[in-house]
Amino acid sequence: MTGLIEDTGNTENTENTENTEPRTAAGRPAPAPRRRKPLGVRAYKAFRVAALIAVVIFLVAPLFWMLLASLKTNVDIYDSGKSFFFTPTGENYANVLQRNNYFVFILNSFWVAFVSTALSLVLGVPAAYAMSRFTMHRSALVVLMARVIPGVSLLVPWYYVFSNLKMVGGFEVLILSHMFVSLPLIVYIMMSYFDSLPLELEESAQVDGLTPIGAFRRITLPLSVAGMATAGILSFIFSWNNFMFALVLSGSKTKTLPVAIFDFVSYASIDWGGLMAAATVVTIPIMIIALFTQKYIVSGMTAGATKG
Partner 1 sequence: MSVLTPPRSAQSEPPSGRNAGRAPGARENFSAWANRHRKWLFAAPAMIFVGVLIIFPLAWTLYLSLTDSQGSVRAASEFVGLENYLTVLSDGERFWPAVGRTLTFTGVALVCEVVLGMCIALLLWRPFRGEKWVRVAILLPLVATPVAVGMMWRLIFDPNIGFVNQLLGMVGIPPQPWLSGQDTALGTTIFMDVWQWTPMVVLILLAGLTSLSEEPDEAARMDGANAFQRFFLITLPLMMPTVIVAILLRGIDALKTFDILYATKGKGGGSFHEVETLNVYAYGLSFDYNQYGLSSAVLILFFMIIIGSMWLLTMRKKAVSK
Q: What span, in angstroms and rounded, lies between the C-alpha atoms of 216 and 194? A: 11
- CA angle (4, 294, 303) in 5-degree steps: 15
Question: Among 104, 103, 108, 82, which residue's Cα sits nearest to residue 93?
Answer: 103
Q: What span, in angstroms and rounded, lies between the C-alpha atoms of 175 and 239? A: 9
Question: Looking only at residues 96 through 115 of this chain, which bind partner 1 when binding is defined by CB under 8 A?
Answer: none
Could you give the string, one character per residue 12-51, with x where binding to partner 1 holds by CB under 8 A and - elsewhere?
----xxxxx--xx--xx-------------------x--x
Among 85, 222, 252, 268, binds partner 1 (CB under 8 A): 222
**Residue 209 C-beta: closest distance to partner 1, Å:** 3
Residue 117 makes contact with partner 1 by CB under 8 A: no
**Residue 125 C-beta: closest distance to partner 1, Å:** 9
Residue 90 makes contact with partner 1 by CB under 8 A: no
Residue 232 makes contact with partner 1 by CB under 8 A: no
**Residue 72 C-beta: closest distance to partner 1, Å:** 11
Among 9, 33, 58, 252, binds partner 1 (CB under 8 A): 58
Pick between residue 56 and residue 94 the one whose CB is nearest to partner 1: 56
Question: Looking only at residues 144 through 173 of this chain, which bind partner 1 when binding is defined by CB under 8 A?
Answer: 145-160
Tell me the C-alpha to C-alpha distance, in Å, between residue 259 and each of 95, 98, 173, 241, 279. Answer: 17, 17, 16, 10, 11
Among 92, 108, 116, 192, binds partner 1 (CB under 8 A): 192
**Residue 101 C-beta: closest distance to partner 1, Å:** 18
Question: Among 50, 102, 308, 302, which residue's Cα sits nearest to residue 189?
Answer: 302
One-letter amino acid at 295 equals: K
Residue 88 makes contact with partner 1 by CB under 8 A: no
> Is residue 56 packed enough to be buried (19+ CB in 10 Å), middle (13-18) or exposed (0-12)?
exposed
Among 92, 116, 230, 254, binds partner 1 (CB under 8 A): 230
Residue 163 near residue 274, CB atoms below 8 Å: no
Residue 200 makes contact with partner 1 by CB under 8 A: no
Pick between residue 89 and residue 196 the one whose CB is nearest to partner 1: 196
| Ranges of H-type helices in 80-198 | 91-94, 102-133, 137-148, 151-164, 171-196
SS3 state at 40: helix
Q: What span, in angstroms and rounded, lies between the C-alpha atoms of 165 and 239? A: 23
One-letter amino acid at 109 equals: S
**Residue 98 C-beta: closest distance to partner 1, Å:** 20
Residue 216 makes contact with partner 1 by CB under 8 A: yes
**Residue 95 C-beta: closest distance to partner 1, Å:** 16
